């Protein structure tokens, strides 16, 4: 574990100048490690994997092969953004796999949260392994491991990065961010020129919307969740809360309540808003959202999203409630 201990002499990367120095140092190290060989990366579109991809594109160009697996549980527009930023703007060697039906078919009727997680994580590995087996000459596997992942490698994040990959994958690891904290990764991403909505992307669970579409996932409820969540994000951007709140999202449970629409009885799901602030995710406080914003969000969701007839606000801090519902 010695080589996984952050050097005491390492300065906190909190300015553009320090980020530029880190980038130059990593570019040299990556070129020396990889040489003329190929490196594979699972590109989720999250902050960590996106910054690793941008670094590697600068260092070795199209020797990097990025695989983006759309499991159908992404937030609205996220896979499209990966294709636009990396496939079009950065000219990355990008393989896009739309595995939506494959994942949702496996998840049909599965309500238990841990079982859902295992299905999503296990199937992701299978899809990634299938794509990797089609490629030739891959010598390295790049990962968006950051320092908290190493600190929490006691089983808390057994699914994260290396922990879930097939034993048959005999690649040398490339982990350029492994000594950085999340805030430092964002500074580096900004210095690399990645768009703000990617650099400042909220933490998003590996199973994606699969653990926010509570209980057994259905396609209609998943669609309603995705649309409601997009509205919440739009309104938080509009009113300035996006930069103030650490994490905010919608969860939709698998029960309905009665409502009224167009003068008729209307049964629909509730959309539950969660908005929390935290330093380390071990505890979290509730953000006090102005009522005017809550009214706007409620009005838009109930009018624009078929299937949703109530909007609720979760006021539970951590502890006692976890940040995610599942």
pTM for the whole structure: 0.88
Do 2-199 and 212-313 fold alike per CATH? no
Length of the chain: 326
Supply the pLDDT for residue 134: 94
What pLDDT score does 3 carry? 73
Give residue-wise pLDDT tens across range 11-52.
Answer: 899 999 999 999 999 999 999 999 999 999 999 999 999 999
140-190 tens-digit pLDDT: 999 999 998 888 765 443 444 444 455 566 789 999 999 999 899 999 999
Q: What is the dihedral of CA 303, 304, 305, 308, to 10 degrees?
A: -10
* Residue whose token pair is 């859902």: 116
Q: How far apart are CA 244 and CA 321, in angstroms?
A: 21
**Tens of pLDDT along 222-279?**
999 999 999 999 999 999 999 899 999 999 999 999 999 889 999 999 999 999 999 8
In this structure, is the dihedral angle defined by the CA atoms of residues 281, 285, 291 and 292, taken in order, positive or negative? negative
**Domain coordinates in residue numbering, the chain:** 2-199, 212-313
CA-closest candidate to residue 68, choices 130, 5, 9, 128: 128
Q: How far is CA 91 from CA 38, 54, 84, 211, in A?
A: 16, 11, 9, 33
Give the CA radius of gyration of the chain. 21
SS3 117: helix
> What does the pLDDT average to over 125-139?
94
Q: Could you tell me the CATH superfamily of domain 2-199? A: HUPs (3.40.50.620)
Output the average pLDDT for the chain. 92
Average pLDDT over residues 194-200: 92
Q: Give me the DSSP letters along 71-92.
A: -S-SPTTHHHHHIIIIIIIS--
Domain 212-313 has CATH 3.30.300.10: yes
């Amino acid at each position: 574990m010695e080589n996984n201990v952050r050097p005491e002499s390492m300065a906190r990367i909190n300015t553009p100048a320090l980020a530029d120095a880190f980038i130059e140092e990593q570019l040299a190290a990556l070129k020396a490690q990889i040489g003329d060989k190929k490196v594979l990366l699972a590109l989720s579109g999250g902050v960590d994997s996106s910054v690793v991809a941008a670094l590697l594109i600068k260092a070795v160009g199209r020797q990097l092969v990025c695989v983006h697996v759309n499991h159908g549980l992404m937030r609205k527009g996220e896979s499209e953004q990966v294709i636009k930023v990396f496939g079009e703007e950065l000219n990355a060697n990008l393989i896009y796999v739309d595995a939506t039906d494959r994942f949702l078919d496996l998840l049909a009727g599965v309500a238990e949260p841990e079982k859902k997680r295992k299905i999503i994580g296990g199937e992701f590995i299978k899809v990634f392994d299938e794509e990797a087996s089609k490629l030739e000459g891959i010598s390295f596997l790049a990962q968006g491991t950051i320092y908290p992942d190493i600190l929490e490698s006691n089983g808390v994040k057994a699914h994260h990065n290396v922990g879930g990959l097939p034993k048959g994958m005999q690649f040398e690891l490339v982990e350029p961010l492994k000594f950085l904290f999340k805030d430092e990764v964002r500074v580096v991403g900004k210095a690399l020129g990645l768009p703000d909505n990617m650099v400042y992307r909220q933490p998003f669970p590996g199973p994606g919307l699969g653990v926010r579409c509570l209980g057994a996932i259905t396609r209609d409820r998943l669609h309603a969740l995705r649309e409601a969540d997009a509205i919440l994000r739009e309104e938080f951007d509009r009113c300035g809360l996006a930069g103030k709140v650490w994490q905010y999202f919608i969860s939709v449970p698998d029960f309905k309540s009665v409502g009224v629409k167009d003068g008729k009885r209307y049964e629909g799901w509730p959309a539950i808003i969660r908005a929390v602030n935290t330093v380390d995710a071990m505890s979290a406080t509730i953000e006090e959202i102005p009522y005017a914003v809550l009214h706007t969000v409620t009005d838009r969701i109930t009018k624009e999203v078929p299937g949703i007839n109530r909007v609720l606000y979760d006021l539970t801090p951590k502890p006692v409630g976890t940040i995610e519902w599942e």
